[in-house]
Structure 1
Amino acid sequence: MTRIGVVGAGAAAAAATYVLDGALPSAGVTVLEKSRGVCGRAATRRRGEVTYDYGANYVTSDDERVVELLTETLDADGLVDVTEPIYTFDADGDVSEGRDNDGHKWTYREGLTQIAKRLFGETDATVHTETRVETLVCDGEQWRVVDADGGEWGPFDALLLNPPAPQSAELLRDAEWESEARTALADAAEAVPYRTIWTAVLGYEFELDRPYYALINPDREHEIGWIAREECKPEHVPDGETVLVVQANPEWSVEYYDNDPTGNIYELAHLTADVIGHGGLAEPAWTDHQGWRYALPDEGVRRGAVDDAADADLYAVGDWVAGEARLHAALRNGLDTGERVAHSL
């Protein structure tokens, strides 16, 4: 039986697994994910009746194949669209109308993690969460994986690598694989620049009346890069309440990443109140936070290094491979990579 290993359970890995399960129904697919959940930075949390996407905010309709996947191939029940526009603000916090287009901004009533949950749910793949991969081993023509507890997985006829580029590079550096392709892909992955994002989630027991879904600072000159209103997503926030997802800009995020979260939240709440023009936003009723050290790749990986590794049945997959830090790009890359692996095997 053909056996395939997948390191990481992000959106791209889920899409690749979905394709592989359909193209190679007799194959066994094993997914190893270090976190407790799936879908990577397309992450969702719940607090009572509140649901909020605190990483990626939505998936767009910019790729026809991804549109078909979400609206026709998978069960579209619970798929919802954010219809309010996105406005911009400048370094002084002055808000202006729109950079929005006619495209969709999709999530699910249960949150964006539904993408990976539904993709994996359509397969016979085995997904192991809270399993941190530490070592990749190439035994001739097959792969094995060793986790942080010393457990061994495999052998696999092909291995997919889904962590962000810096973490993938670290795995490759430590891999037991004597090949120029290992060094080349590690070098290429290390060269991918990433934005760090520190996120505050701010909850309020009052309703905010504004004509936009989100505000973005396109020139990155303000301490905040993005403010989104989760109440614009159907069934995410009860009536009469407000939940804001506030993402600091990369420079601020790097500087304050390891600081006391309480101070970071306080600072971002006051900055948010100034931008939106509502003093009450400086005092949220409840808060949450998340730091994303490797949030968004600013460039893609060198393609030749990815192709050379694929010749040894090691496949890099994700937005850093797609070369675009967007959820639809990660999904499309997963679909394409899944087809490539299936064809090779």
Structure 2
Amino acid sequence: MTRTVCIVGAGAAGVGAAYALRDAEADVTVLEKSRGVCGRAATRRRSDCRYDHGANYLKDADEHTVELVESLGDDGLVAFDDPVWTFDADGTISESDRDPETKYTWEEGITQLAKRLLARTDATVHRETRVERIQRGSGREHVDEDANGDRWYLVDTDGESYGPFDALVLTPPAPQTAALLAETKWHSEHLPALREAVGTVRYRTIRSVMLHYPFEVDVPYYALVNTDKKHDIGWLSREECKRDHVPDGESLLVVQMAPQWSEEHYDEPLEETADVVAGKVADLMDDDRLAEFDWTDDQGWRYAQPNSGASEEILRRGEDDGLFFAGDWVAGEGRVHLALWNGVKVGKRISGSF
């Protein structure tokens, strides 16, 4: 018997769950609010450049991650081991004493992770579909009235209904998942505890600013990371270190500002913010040329990285009724591979429950 599964969100966790269900007797539907897939592991194109402006790469965290990445094919795969150095509140840069790790992306960008995984499934993906309400009920026509029943229904912001589903996986960042749970009609003793557990997860906000230069920056590192968390810049990386991301002789810096700075300047116009960020970059890298860029771009990530995770014991209380949760906030740390494998684990639990 074929069961139906709905996954809300096509980020790493949602895609991981869909991938884990690829051989199960399951009809999988993915509802994604954005035009693209892979969530905060995002890629853009501009002026012959491709740049990973959220999660910058997938790290070789463990053997399973490496095997999975390599199983997706080596065509277009970019593996590089340029080092990440550190800097402190004073902007003093230090060479890292850690062995360089292999980092993965693709010539087409890190979104290829989700695209290639989804291509190995039969999942139906609805993009630009923002879920507004959820109900565990007995009929699509009674989405607002009857929360008794044994299947899941969803309604998007355009009033379109989806369902019924035997299992539902929620993967958006915890604050967005909490908002969905607040609008969920489900007669369960577990719902209050789930709402509280998810609602307590807090996130760090990050504003990424991209700065392009018509010359190549000559430094011995791929990226810089602020280790004492006291600098306005949290992370700075060079997209030209990734094959086919930036034309020869050019540089494109991805500058992720620290959470406090990002919150304070989140809504400021880019034309103002970019000049300020470029000045900070020039000071940090001791290169006055970097204060003058030829184009810029930005992205605000209100829910960039979770400070901690929710109680997995509480989150699993809804699984007997087919409600599952996945994401970096379930794993407890904002890493692409952790979100991915958390989604895979959830998908396998769903498959095993059939």
The verdict on a shared fold, with TM-score over 0.5 as the criterion, is yes
Instruction: State the AA in 1 paired with 2:68.
Output: L
Where 1:222 maps in the other structure, the secondary structure is coil
Q: Distance in 2 between matches of 1:125 and 1:59?
A: 23
Q: Out of 87, 98, 109, which is 2:85 matched to?
A: 87
> In 2, distance between residues paired with 1:100 and 1:128?
42
Alpha-carbon distance, 1:305 to partner: 1.5
Question: How many Å apart are 1:268 and its aligned residue?
Answer: 0.8
Structure 2 match to 1:211: 220
Alignment of 1:42-81 (within 5 A): 42-72=41-71, 74-81=72-79
Displacement of 1:281 in angstroms is 0.8
1:121-270 mapped onto 2 (5 Å cutoff) = 121-139=119-137, 140-270=149-279
Distance (whole Å) between structure 2 residues aligned to residue 14 and residue 156 of structure 1: 18
Counterpart residue identity of residue 91, structure 1: A
Distance in 2 (CA, whole Å) between partners of 1:183 and 1:76 is 47
Q: Is structure 2 residue 291 aligned with structure 1 residue 282?
A: yes
* Counterpart residue number, 2:33: 34
**Which is worse superposed, 183-192 or 74-83?**
74-83
Partner-residue secondary structure (3-state), 1:23: coil
Deviates more, 1:277-286 or 1:287-296: 277-286
**1:297 shift after superposition:** 0.6
Moved over 4 A (4+): none
- Aligned partner of 2:7: which letter? V
> Displacement, 1:262?
1.8
Question: What is the root-mean-square deviation of aligned Cα atoms in Å?
Answer: 1.1
Alpha-carbon distance in 2 for matches of 1:306, 1:172: 12
CA distance in 2, matches of 1:186, 1:149: 25
Q: TM-score of the superposition, structure 1-length normalised?
A: 0.97
The 5 Å alignment of 1:308-323 reads 308-323=317-332
Whole-angstrom CA distance in 1 between matches of 2:177 and 2:161: 19
CA distance in 2: counterparts of 1:329 and 1:195, whole angstroms: 17
Deviation of 1:99 after TM superposition, in Å, equals: 5.2
Of 62-71 and 322-331, deviating more is 62-71
Q: Is the 8 A contact 1:184 1:305 kept in 2?
A: yes
Decide whether aligned partners of structure 1 residues 55 and 263 sit closer, same or farther in structure 2, where only a CA change above 3 A counts: same
Give the AA of the match of 1:278. D
Shift of 1:170: 0.6
Q: How far apart are residue 48 of structure 1 and its match?
A: 3.0
Which whole-Å CA distance do the structure 2 matches of 1:231 and 1:241 have between them? 7
> In the TM superposition, what is the alpha-carbon distance from 1:193 to its structure 2 partner?
1.8
1:66, distance to aligned residue in structure 2 (A):
1.9
Quote the offset at 1:101 in angstroms.
Answer: 3.0
- Tell me by how many angstroms 1:75 deviates: 2.0
Given that residues 65 and 332 in structure 1 are in contact (C-alpha distance below 8 angstroms), is that contact kept between their aligned partners in structure 2?
no
Shift in alpha-carbon separation, 1:299–1:262, aligned structure 2, 3 A: same
SS of equivalent residue, structure 1 residue 180: coil
Task: Give the percent of matched residue pairs that are identical in Structure 1 and Structure 2.
Answer: 53
Once residues 341 and 166 of structure 1 are traced to their aligned partners in structure 2, the CA distance between those partners, rounded to angstroms, is 24
Is the Cα–Cα contact under 8 Å of residues 63 and 328 in structure 1 kept in the other structure? no
CA–CA distance in structure 2, aligned partners of residues 12 and 283 of structure 1? 38
Q: State whether residues 86 and 99 of structure 1, in contact with CA within 8 Å, keep that contact through their aligned partners in structure 2.
A: no
1:193 maps to a residue whose letter is R
Q: Deviations over 1:234-290 (max 9, x none)?
A: 111110000000000000011111222222211111101110111111111000000
TM norm structure 2: 0.94
Q: Which blocks of at least 5 consecutive residues in structure 2 are unaligned?
A: 138-148
Task: Report if aligned partners of 2:82, 2:100 keep a CA contact under 8 Å in 1.
Answer: no
Structure 2: distance between partners of 1:263 and 1:84: 32
Question: 1:74-95, CA deviations, whole angstroms, 9 ceiling, x for partnerless residues?
Answer: 2232221222100111111111
Asked whether the equivalents of residues 32 and 128 of structure 1 are also in contact (C-alpha less than 8 Å), the reply is yes
Letter in 1 for 2:90: D
Amino acid at match of 2:35: R
Q: Output one character per residue of 1:82-137: Cα deviation in whole Å (capped at 9) or x when no partner.
A: 22100111111111101543431111111100000011111111101001100011
Given that 1:31 and 1:128 are in contact with CA atoms closer than 8 Å, whether structure 2 keeps it comes out as yes
Look up the SS of the partner of 2:22 in the other structure: helix
**What is the count of residue pairs matched by the alignment?**
342
Partner of 1:333: 342
